[in-house]
Chains A and B, each alone.
Chain A
């Protein structure tokens, strides 16, 4: 499986500011995914990011709030914009497995607290 790293691992931010989360993979992958994990809730897919195209957002998530970049096959960023306390969550990136897109491998997550 791919080795995935995320930066920062955690952050505490003020309301109204923005935070950019980085996801780095040790191998080239076509599809990268961004999830949110809130306490007591299922992992929720924010968007799918393919290199060279615009990210595809799930219902309830918009590009203005969660802009995503995918400049190459090993890297992606997710920005959480104009943050509010409701954005406090763990943000995870994942990549498809080498044998099937029905396997996904996750990074360690970024724990975000918004005051």
Chain B
């Protein structure tokens, strides 16, 4: 079983839609949860960073962590064509700096 599971998609939505991206994980010791956005032929860009459970909002983006279900989500409101990218979830333990990444979900927002 992989440490982190992420549906690779691809996901295609019309402009203005609400997008939900999700990851599940197996290690209950994970405490830090991150979402990265990666445009084609670019490096991953840190979008959201959450510690432990709960929600965090930043503009059109909301990250949710449900540690009881070992499930994290990223919601994108009012999606834009510029949101078209691959979204990677990542998580890490309280100690150490090793990140465990999902495989990424490819998102296309159609104008």
Query: A residues bordering B, Cβ < 8 Å?
Result: 1, 4, 31, 33, 40-43, 45, 48, 58, 92, 94, 96-97, 100-109, 111
Contact = CB atoms under 8 A, between A and B. Distances in A.
B44 A43 contact: yes
Contact of B43 (A45, A58, A96, A106): A106
Contacts, number: 55
18 contacts: A4-B43, A33-B97, A41-B103, A42-B2, A42-B4, A42-B101, A42-B102, A42-B104, A43-B88, A45-B98, A58-B98, A102-B34, A102-B49, A103-B34, A103-B49, A104-B99, A106-B36, A111-B41
Given A43-B88, A102-B32, A48 B46 contact: no
A100 B49 CA distance: 11
Interface of B: 2, 4, 8, 32, 34, 36, 41-46, 49, 51, 88, 90, 92, 97-104
Contacts of A106: 36, 43-45
Contacts of A33: 97
Contacts of A100: 32
Contacts of B32: 100, 102
Contacts of B99: 43, 45, 104
Contacts of B49: 102-103
